[in-house]
Every structure is written in structure tokens, then in C-alpha cells.
């Protein structure tokens, strides 16, 4: 390699300013050392793009030197500042509105005020402390990413440790157990002694890789989420909740429904979640405990991880992202993991089903398209946007719409005995209603298993609803409908068999008449 080639490599690798500075330093070296460096650089220089990607990641993480890595790793396996920087960059590349107008803020606050009034008669839980905030997309990313990082940290920690083990055990011998020469050249990167171990530095690169993945996912999520409780979990910093006004308005436009009706509906959803979590303090910690338990039993397929590493184009975080993606390298789930995942799914379904139940009762007299909006919300959870995809890549967690509908039916049947008795079930985890059991329910990715579980639960719910109807002569409780059975009756034109007739033709229930229009879609 001659001096012109080395000069160009410095410019490509470090950028015009830093590259020229490196070249000036090189020029000041004695001739014999310059000649030695030129000879060694002929085969020892890394790809410039690889090096620039590495430094870009370091800059995004807020690090100034490699010696800062020790401090960063003590804060957890996800570098939140790096995720925020990338998320904000992605958000600004799209239809970016940096501020909330006074009119939009007033409209959202009015919708929240109405929602609280409507919910007062449908539950025993008081409003959450504080007031609902109105956010931009960028505010959503900045305020929720720390929670995403905390949620993901147990699993990411296991992934990064496995990555370090694989690299050190299977590739470390190629580097004589040290990384000091990884980016050796005329301007070597200063690496502290504690980071010379290849496993340690790969753990850090794995953290950067996942942080970039999370930031990219947050940038996508920011364009579709409407509130801080959209995932059924408290992801924001404000207990009272928050709404992203730009996304609320765009959602109303997509559905071709009056924007004020959509604002009221989404305000009901957000406020109902906020009230539940404020009144049930054990609920967030329960989710965290279950996720930690899942992470503790996570197994990594080391062969798959090694394959991902060998396919990587370089050692920068973007290249090795596949090696720290659970969907690529997770081993088959253990029975313990399946049990924990089922517990997480059921608990989320109970939360979402309860919210559906109280929102329907609060909004049925005020929102003409309430049934359609509720069903659309369930199906969005089923098809999965960036938020659901992120949860799936972190945990393998999937929520089926039938499970949420089943939970809503269970809560609705309980409402026949009064909202006090229904909400008292949240006093302790052991008091929560069951959504069914048995081995057939363990694998929620199996449509047949879900259908079997739904059919059993629907049968039980129909009996509860029938008892409630007989008690007071009306059908105020939300009806429970076996959608598959109803569709079968319509197709066979044999609907007059007397089964489940009360639920199928209940004219007194606004939801019964509204949801039957959607039966064909299921």
C-alpha cells in the first residue's frame, strides 16, 4: 500500500476532518516507522465502511472514547440514548409534526374529560393521579424507550452473554484471545485493558446492535401508536396516560370516522388502562416477574448464533444484528417457558378484555361506531404492527384476538352481578378468572388449540350469560357469542335450532346487534 492509498483509506474510514487529522499525524512519524506501517497496512486494515459504522454507533451511544464502555455496560444491556437518537432520526424522516397545536390539545383534553365522566359509572376504580398528556411522536419515543429497555433487558442480557461466549469460544483463537489488533493500523483505537477480551467487547457490540434494533423499531412504532397503554402495559412515564394526537387524527382519517368520535374512543381506552393500573399496584410487577422468569429459562441455539456471525458482513453492530435477534437464534421453548408465556398472554388478555368490557359500557350510548372500533382494535393486535413484532422478537409473545374477546365476555358475564364484584377480582392475582386450561392451550401459535380453548370457554360463558339474563329479565350484560358457530349456522341456513338464540338475536344489546355484522370476518 502506498501513501496515497493510505491517505484515501483514512478519509474513507474516519471522514474528511478526522481522516485528514490522522494523515497529518502519520506524516509526522519517522520514515522507518511510516514504512513499517505501510507494509503492515497492506493486509491489516479493516473495511472503511465497517469502521465508520462502528464509530457511528459509538457516537450515537454518547460515548467519546472506548474507555467509556465499562460505565455504559453497568447501566444494562441496552443503551437507551442510542435507541432514542435513532428513533428520533427515523421519526423526522416521515410526516413529522414537532409540536401539538393548541386546538388539537384542547380537543383531546375535552375527549379525555368526557371519557372520565362516562367511565365513572362502569367501574369502581378512581381516575389515575395527574392528567393525561398530549404528545408528539418524538415525545412518545423519548418517554417510552426507557420502559421498553427495562422490559427487554432480561432477554437481551442473555443474548449478549451468549454472543460473547460464542465469539470467544469459537472465534477467539483466531485473534489470540485479544482484540487489541482488531482495528490496528496507523491510528489504532485506544482500548482499555478491561475491554481487550474478545467476549467483553462482543457483549458491548451486541448491546449496541440491539439498541439500534430497538431504536429502529421505536421509530416505526411512533407512527402507529395512539397512546402510552397501546400494548396493554404502562409504557409511559405518566400514570394518567398520554395520547399522540397526530396519530389519533390520522387513524380517524384512515377509518373514515369522525375525528371527535375516534378521539373519544381512544381516550376511553387510555383512561381505562390508567385507572386499572393505578388501582392494581401488583399488576406491573407481575408482568416484570413473569418476563424475568421467561428470560431466566431462555436457551440460545449457539450453532444458529455462530451461523449468524459467519454471515455478518463485518464486526459493526448492524452486521451482527441477526445474532442478537431472538427470532433467529432462540432454541426451542422449554415447557417452563411455554407455561410462563401462557401466563403472560392470559394476563394481557384479561387486562385488554376488562378494558373492552368497561369501554363498551361507557361508550355504547355515545359512540355510533363503538363495536367496529373495538373489533378493529382486536384485529390490529392479531395482525401485529411494529409494536407486536418487537414483543415477538423479544419474547415470542403473541396475543390472539379470540383470547381477548373471550376475556371480555368473561368480564361482561361478571358484570351482571355488579361492577363491585367484578372489579374485586383484581384485588389479588389468585382471584382473577380463568380463561381455560389444559395442554391444548399451551401453544397459542396453533390455531386448532386456540379454537378448542375458545369453544370450551364460550360454552361456559354462554351459561353464565344465560343465568344473568334469567336473574333480571334483561340482557344488559355484554353477550357472549361463539363466532364460529354463528357463521356455521348462517352458511347452513339452519339458524332455528334453539341453541344460543338469546345471544344471537338479543335486540336489547347494542353490542349484540353491532358485532353480529362482523361475524363473517371471523
Q: What mean pLDDT is predicted for residues 66-83?
A: 66
Q: Give the confidence band of 298 by pLDDT, cuts at 50, 70, 90.
A: confident
The mean pLDDT value of the chain amounts to 75
Q: Is residue 306 part of a domain?
A: no
Cα–Cα distance measured from residue 18 to residue 47, given in angstroms and rounded to the nearest whole number: 17
Top-confidence residue, 351 or 437? 351
CA Rg value for the chain: 28
Q: Give the confidence band of 187 by pLDDT, cuts at 50, 70, 90.
A: very low
- DSSP result, 258-301: -HHHHHHHHHHHHHHHHHHHHH-THHHHHHHHHHHHHHHT--B-
Question: Residues 201, 347: one domain?
Answer: no
Cα–Cα distance measured from residue 139 to residue 103, given in angstroms and rounded to the nearest whole number: 18
Q: What mean pLDDT is predicted for residues 350-367?
A: 96
pLDDT of residue 207: 83
pLDDT of residue 471: 34
For residues 430 and 350, is the Cβ–Cβ distance under 8 A? no
Give the range of the structural domain holding residue 416, as residue numbers without chain letter.
334-522
Cα–Cα distance measured from residue 376 to residue 232, given in angstroms and rounded to the nearest whole number: 16
Cα–Cα distance measured from residue 405 to residue 395, given in angstroms and rounded to the nearest whole number: 22
- pLDDT > 90? residue 48: no
pLDDT of residue 500: 43
Q: What is the pLDDT of residues 195-230, one digit of tens each?
A: 556 677 778 778 888 888 888 889 989 999 999 999
Q: Could you give the 3-state DSSP secondary structure of residue 180?
A: coil
Q: Is residue 491 part of a domain?
A: yes
Q: Give the confidence band of 50 by pLDDT, cuts at 50, 70, 90.
A: low
Q: Is residue 176 part of a domain?
A: yes
DSSP H helices in 297-334: 302-311, 326-329
- pLDDT > 90? residue 122: yes
Q: Is residue 255 part of a domain?
A: no
- pLDDT > 80? residue 10: no
Out of 130-144, 208-222, 327-341, give the one with best mean pLDDT: 130-144
For residue 330, what are the β-bridge partners? 300
For residue 242, what are the β-bridge partners? 133
Which range, of 29-38, 119-128, 511-520, averages the lowest pLDDT?
511-520
Backbone CA torsion sign across 168, 217, 349, 483: negative
- pLDDT > 80? residue 134: yes
pLDDT of residue 216: 87
pLDDT of residue 419: 95
Q: Give the confidence band of 387 by pLDDT, cuts at 50, 70, 90.
A: confident
Q: What is the pLDDT of residues 482-506, one digit of tens each?
A: 544 544 444 444 444 444 433 333 3
Top-confidence residue, 428 or 512? 428
pLDDT of residue 504: 35
pLDDT of residue 217: 87
- pLDDT > 60? residue 391: yes
Based on DSSP, count helices (H) and strands (E) in the chain, helices before strands: 23, 2
pLDDT of residue 174: 47
Q: What mean pLDDT is predicted for residues 340-356?
A: 92
Contacts of 418 (CB under 8 A, 6+ apart): none
Cα dihedral 161, 163, 169, 171, rounded to 10, equals -150
pLDDT of residue 157: 84
Q: Give the confidence band of 396 by pLDDT, cuts at 50, 70, 90.
A: low
Q: Is residue 387 part of a domain?
A: yes
The HSE-up count of residue 232 (CA atoms within 13 Å, CB side) is 25
Top-confidence residue, 359 or 220? 359
**Which of 212, 245, 264 corresponds to the end of one domain?**
212
Q: What is the pLDDT of residues 408-457, one digit of tens each?
A: 999 999 999 999 999 999 999 999 999 864 333 333 333 333 333 343 33
Top-confidence residue, 456 or 283? 283
Q: What is the pLDDT of residues 53-72, one digit of tens each?
A: 555 555 554 444 444 455 45
- pLDDT > 80? residue 152: yes
- pLDDT > 60? residue 100: yes
Question: Residues 46, 180: one domain?
Answer: yes
Cα–Cα distance measured from residue 222 to residue 386, given in angstroms and rounded to the nearest whole number: 9
- pLDDT > 60? residue 376: yes
- pLDDT > 80? residue 118: yes
**Which of 212, 233, 252 corresponds to the end of one domain?**
212
Tell me how many domains the chain contains.
Answer: 2
Reading the block at residue 58, the C-alpha cell is: 459509538
Q: Is residue 172 part of a domain?
A: yes
Q: Is residue 243 part of a domain?
A: no
Which range, of 240-244, 378-382, 438-442, 489-493, averages the lowest pLDDT?
438-442
pLDDT of residue 208: 83
Q: Is residue 221 part of a domain?
A: no
Phi, psi dihedral angles at 122 (to 5 degrees): -110, 0
Q: Could you give the 3-state DSSP secondary structure of residue 497?
A: coil
Give the Å distances, CA to CA, from 77 to 39, 146, 343, 385: 39, 12, 25, 25
pLDDT of residue 313: 64
- Inter-axis angle of helices 335-363 and 401-415, nearest 10: 50
Q: What is the pLDDT of residues 246-271, one digit of tens each?
A: 999 999 999 999 999 999 999 999 99
**Which of 212, 230, 245 corresponds to the end of one domain?**
212
Amino acid at each position: 500500500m502506498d501513501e496515497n492509498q493510505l491517505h484515501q483509506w483514512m478519509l474513507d474510514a474516519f471522514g474528511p476532518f478526522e481522516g485528514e487529522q490522522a494523515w497529518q499525524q502519520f506524516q509526522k512519524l519517522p520514515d522507518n516507522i511510516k514504512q513499517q506501517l505501510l507494509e503492515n497496512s497492506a493486509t491489516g486494515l479493516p473495511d472503511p465502511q465497517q469502521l465508520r459504522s462502528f464509530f457511528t454507533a459509538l457516537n450515537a451511544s454518547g460515548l467519546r472514547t472506548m474507555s467509556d464502555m465499562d460505565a455504559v455496560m453497568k447501566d444494562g444491556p441496552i443503551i437507551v440514548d442510542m435507541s432514542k437518537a435513532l428513533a428520533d432520526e427515523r421519526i423526522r424522516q416521515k410526516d413529522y409534526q414537532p409540536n401539538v397545536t393548541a386546538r388539537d390539545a384542547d380537543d383531546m383534553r375535552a375527549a379525555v374529560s368526557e371519557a372520565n365522566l362516562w367511565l365513572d359509572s362502569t367501574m369502581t376504580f378512581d381516575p389515575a393521579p395527574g392528567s393525561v398528556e398530549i404528545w408528539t411522536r418524538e415525545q412518545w419515543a423519548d418517554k417510552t424507550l426507557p420502559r421498553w429497555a427495562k422490559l427487554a433487558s432480561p432477554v437481551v442480557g442473555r443474548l449478549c452473554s451468549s454472543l460473547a461466549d460464542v465469539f470467544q469460544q469459537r472465534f477467539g483463537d483466531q485473534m489470540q484471545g485479544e482484540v487489541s489488533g482488531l482495528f490496528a493500523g496507523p491510528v489504532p483505537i485506544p482500548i482499555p485493558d478491561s475491554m481487550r477480551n474478545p467476549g467483553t467487547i462482543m457483549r458491548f457490540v451486541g448491546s449496541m446492535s440491539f439498541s439500534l434494533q430497538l431504536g429502529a423499531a421505536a421509530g416505526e412504532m411512533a407512527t402507529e401508536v395512539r397512546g402510552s397503554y397501546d400494548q396493554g402495559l404502562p409504557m409511559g412515564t405518566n400514570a394518567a396516560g398520554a395520547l399522540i394526537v397526530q396519530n389519533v387524527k390520522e387513524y380517524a382519517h384512515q377509518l373514515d370516522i369522525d375525528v371527535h368520535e375516534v378521539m373519544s374512543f381512544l381516550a376511553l381506552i387510555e383512561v381505562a388502562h390508567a385507572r386499572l393500573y393505578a388501582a392494581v399496584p401488583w399488576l406491573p410487577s407481575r408482568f416484570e416477574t413473569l418476563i424475568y422468569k421467561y428470560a431466566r429459562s431462555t436457551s440460545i441455539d449457539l450453532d444458529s448464533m455462530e451461523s449468524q456471525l459467519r454471515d455478518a458482513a463485518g464486526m459493526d453492530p448492524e452486521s451482527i444484528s441477526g445474532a442478537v435477534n431472538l427470532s433467529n437464534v432462540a432454541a426451542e421453548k422449554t415447557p417452563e417457558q411455554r407455561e410462563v408465556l401462557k401466563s403472560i398472554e392470559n394476563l394481557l388478555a384479561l387486562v385488554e378484555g376488562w378494558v373492552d368490557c368497561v369501554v363498551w359500557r361507557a361508550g355504547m350510548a355515545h359512540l355510533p361506531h363503538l363495536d367496529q372500533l373495538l373489533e378493529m382494535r382486536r384485529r390490529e393486535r392479531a395482525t401485529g404492527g411494529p409494536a407486536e413484532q418487537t414483543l415477538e422478537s423479544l419474547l415470542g409473545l403473541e396475543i390472539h384476538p379470540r383470547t381477548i374477546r373471550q376475556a371480555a365476555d368473561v368480564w361482561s358475564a361478571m358484570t351482571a352481578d355488579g361492577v363491585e364484584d367484578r372489579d374485586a377480582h383484581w384485588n389479588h392475582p389468585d382471584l382473577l378468572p380463568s380463561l381455560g386450561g389444559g395442554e391444548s392451550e399451551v401453544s397459542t401459535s396453533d390455531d386448532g388449540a386456540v379454537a378448542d380453548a375458545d369453544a370450551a370457554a364460550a360454552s361456559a360463558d354462554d351459561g353464565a350469560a344465560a343465568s344473568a339474563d334469567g336473574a333480571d329479565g334483561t340482557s344488559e350484560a355484554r353477550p357472549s357469542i361463539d363466532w364460529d358457530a354463528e357463521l356455521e349456522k348462517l352458511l347452513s341456513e339452519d339458524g332455528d335450532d334453539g341453541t344460543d338464540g338469546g345471544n344471537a338475536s338479543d335486540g336489547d344489546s347494542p353490542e349484540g346487534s353491532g358485532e353480529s355484522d362482523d361475524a363473517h370476518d371471523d
